[in-house]
Amino acid sequence: MTRSSGADAPYWQGLADGKLLFPRCTGCDRWMWPAGHRCGSCGAVGVTWTERAMTAAIFSWTRTWHRFALTESLDLPFTSIVAEVDDCGIRLLGRLDDPDRIDPVIGEPLTGRIGTTVIRTGVGTDPIPTIIWSRLA
Amino acid sequence: MTHPLYGTTAIAGVGLRQYKRGAAPLPERSVLVEAVLAACADAGFDPAEIDGFVSYGDDHNEPVRLMPELGIRELRWSSAVWGGGGGGIAGAFGVAASAILTGQATAVVIFRALVEGSSGRLSAAVMAHHLTDHLLAAGVVSPAQVCAIRATRLFDHHGVPRDIVEDLVRASYYHGNRNPEAVSFGQDFDIESLRRSRMIAEPFRLFDCSRENDGAGALLMVAADRARDLAKPPVYLLGCAQGAEAGWGDLLENDAADLYATAGFRPVAKRLYADTGLTPADIDVVQLYENFDAQGVMSLIDHGFCSHESAADVIRFDNLIADGGKLPVNTSGGNLAQGFIHGIGLPIEAVRQLRGESANPVAGARTCLLAGGPGSPTVSSAIFANRFD
Ligand SMILES: [Zn+2]
């Protein structure tokens, strides 16, 4: 499955277009993440892709020091977070700007910008669009 | 009414072959054949009579390929529990028992084999189940990082003291030090070696993580009455549960907030205790799958041995060791200190402990809980006993 063929394809296309889009059930307005096509709560089929601001709060985090395969494009250490996006409660995995290695605090407010993470494999490179989060000053 | 699984099947024999990672003297299938033969020898059972196999965690050895070397006459059952991690390990015993109790097989081997030269790194195989572009883009590509993020939440949000993982690690090495089959046999463990080991993904240092070995383990299960006629005293399966509840699973970190920093066992433990009529107070020994020490702590909490608040009182070195502890955990050394062949050493230690064969015997032990791989989307647990009412 590729980014253009999965149920979350509009999410990836949204990032490519500079927008954060999430699926919302057409029947009960519930946010549906991971993306799917049927709402298990109300049984409705179909979603509306809805834009949300790139603001969030830290839900949890880790700072990686070991060079795992597929992370070669990221300088060590790098900080990965789970960010809870405002006004929908959806949690996203992302990266945090952390130049001074200050331990994140759960609940800390964040603002995001769209960047890329480049994955290098034996068959080439793949720049994946992603949100890079920063702590509010 | 007594649950159909309660005491109706038993483990009759166990076999374990363990080597340093990358150092197995034989190919993976041959190591597995040796472990199965060892389990049959232990039970005094003719391997030709094996008619079923169950595994978990994407074992590469399709059972039909084992038939020629084991001399098996007819294979009647082969299956596996879903999931790439160790979550299904205990569930494999329930599947095997189901086959026996429904007459679809009579002698079933539960097994796991892992030889790096044949199957590659376990961590990469587990992760292949879950890797998506969401994870890749965040630089989260390993079980260690996935579990580290959950551990941070356990410590920082739920207030469980970070240093209790050290008690679990120390207890594991205490047992491993006394177990001739353990990678840590004869080694005095200094907690400073954990504190000084290199950082992998905060909060995990190297010694917070189970490190892979080559090898294979096999356990022979038969009906309880048949087990009583074999060489070793039966170790009965009293109950087994697997699964997940709504709000838990492969949800891109969107698990229900109150489940996020658990190991996923709440519904499984609840069913297991209900089906067996037992409570945490009835468990004499625990074999606890700990891919990472913090996940072991979550698993103990999920299984009702303590709460976030009481964790620091219960998860204490003195309380976790076989010599006088009320909650002896991983009496072989466990995945951390005995060796890590995707957890298969844990049920083998459960059997040895209940037979009185453990290197770290728990006096008078009657029951042993096997808690499967914590944090997996599908998890499972089982209870074994050497006698029952
Ligand atoms: Zn709905």
Position B72 scores a pLDDT of 98
Give the closest residue to B282 by CA, choosing from B172, B388, B372.
B388
Position A121 scores a pLDDT of 79
The CATH architecture that domain A53-137 belongs to is: Beta Barrel (2.40)
Inter-chain residue contact A80 with B152, CB threshold 8 Å: no
B220: left (phi over 0), alpha (psi -120 to 50) or beta: beta
Position A123 scores a pLDDT of 79
Position B121 scores a pLDDT of 79
Inter-chain residue contact A65 with B199, CB threshold 8 Å: yes
Closest-CA residue of A relative to B140 is: A80
Position A1 scores a pLDDT of 52
Position B129 scores a pLDDT of 74
Q: Domains (ranges, CATH) in chain B?
A: 9-121+209-379 (3.40.47.10)
Position B134 scores a pLDDT of 96
Give the closest residue to B278 by CA, choosing from B315, B238, B329, B234.
B238
| Cβ pairs bridging A and B (under 8 Å) | 103
> To probe the interface with A, which of B152, B154, B209, B259 has the most A CB atoms within 10 Å?
B152
Angle at B130 between CA B374 and CA B259, to 5 degrees: 40
pLDDT (tens digit, 9 = 90+) per residue, B304-320?
A: 999 999 999 999 999 99
Listed in sequence order, the residues at least 6 apart from B308 whose beta carbon sits closer than 8 Å to its beta carbon are: B158, B159, B160, B301
Which chain A residues contact residue B153 at CB under 8 A?
59-60, 106
Cα–Cα dist A104/A117, whole Å: 21
Residue found under tokens 């599947």: B95
**Residues of chain B falling short of pLDDT 50:** none
* d(CA B245, nearest CA chain A) in Å: 14
Closest-CA residue of B relative to A61 is: B149
Which chain B residues contact residue A130 at CB under 8 A?
137-138
Q: What is the mean pLDDT of chain A?
A: 95
Give the one of A60, A66, A77 whose C-beta lies nearest to B153's C-beta: A60
Which chain A residues contact residue B295 at CB under 8 A?
none
Bridge partners of B333, per DSSP, are none
Angle at A42 between CA A38 and CA A46, to 5 degrees: 35
The answer to whether residues B154 and B293 touch, using CB atoms and an 8 Å cutoff, is no
Please, is A135 exposed, middle or buried when counting C-beta atoms within 10 Å of its C-beta (0-12, 13-18, 19+)? middle
Give the one of B201, B251, B254 whose C-beta lies nearest to A64's C-beta: B201
Angle at A68 between CA A65 and CA A74, to 5 degrees: 65
Over range A99-128, report the average pLDDT: 94
Which spans in chain B are helix H? Answer: 28-43, 67-70, 91-101, 116-119, 122-128, 133-137, 143-156, 164-177, 191-195, 224-227, 266-276, 293-302, 311-314, 317-320, 334-337, 345-355
Q: How far apart are the first and last CA of chain B?
A: 13
What single letter denotes the amino acid at residue B351? V
Give the start-to-end residue ranges of the domains of chain A.
Answer: 1-52, 53-137
Taking CA atoms, A113 is separated from A19, A97, A131, B337, in Å, by 10, 11, 6, 44
Q: Which residues of B227-244 are buried (b: 16+ CB within 10 A; e: fewer)?
A: beebebbbbbbbbbbbeb
* pLDDT > 70? residue A23: yes
Give the one of A59, A68, A94 whose C-beta lies nearest to B142's C-beta: A68
Please tell me whether residue A101 adopts helix, strand or coil conformation.
coil
* d(CA A77, nearest CA chain B) in Å: 9
Give the one of A33, A61, A119 whose C-beta lies nearest to B136's C-beta: A119
Give the one of B138, B200, B202 whose C-beta lies nearest to A93's C-beta: B138
Inter-chain residue contact A117 with B139, CB threshold 8 Å: yes
Model ipTM value: 0.97
Give the one of A3, A74, A91 whose C-beta lies nearest to B139's C-beta: A74
Count of H-run helices and E-run strands, chain A: 1, 7
Give the closest residue to B108 by CA, choosing from B25, B168, B51.
B51
Task: Find the radius of gyration of the CA atoms of chain A.
Answer: 16
> To probe the interface with A, which of B127, B132, B140 has the most A CB atoms within 10 Å?
B140
pLDDT (tens digit, 9 = 90+) per residue, A77-91?
A: 999 999 999 999 999
Closest-CA residue of B relative to A4 is: B133
Cα–Cα dist B329/B332, whole Å: 9
Over range A80-108, report the average pLDDT: 97
Cα–Cα dist B298/B296, whole Å: 5
Inter-chain residue contact A71 with B141, CB threshold 8 Å: yes
Cα–Cα dist B321/B286, whole Å: 11
Tokens describing residue B232 = 């070793």
Inter-chain residue contact B145 with A80, CB threshold 8 Å: yes
Inter-chain residue contact A60 with B145, CB threshold 8 Å: no
Position A116 scores a pLDDT of 96
Inter-chain residue contact B201 with A63, CB threshold 8 Å: yes
Which chain B residues contact residue A80 at CB under 8 A?
138-140, 145, 149
Taking CA atoms, B120 is separated from B7, B132, B294, in Å, by 38, 20, 26
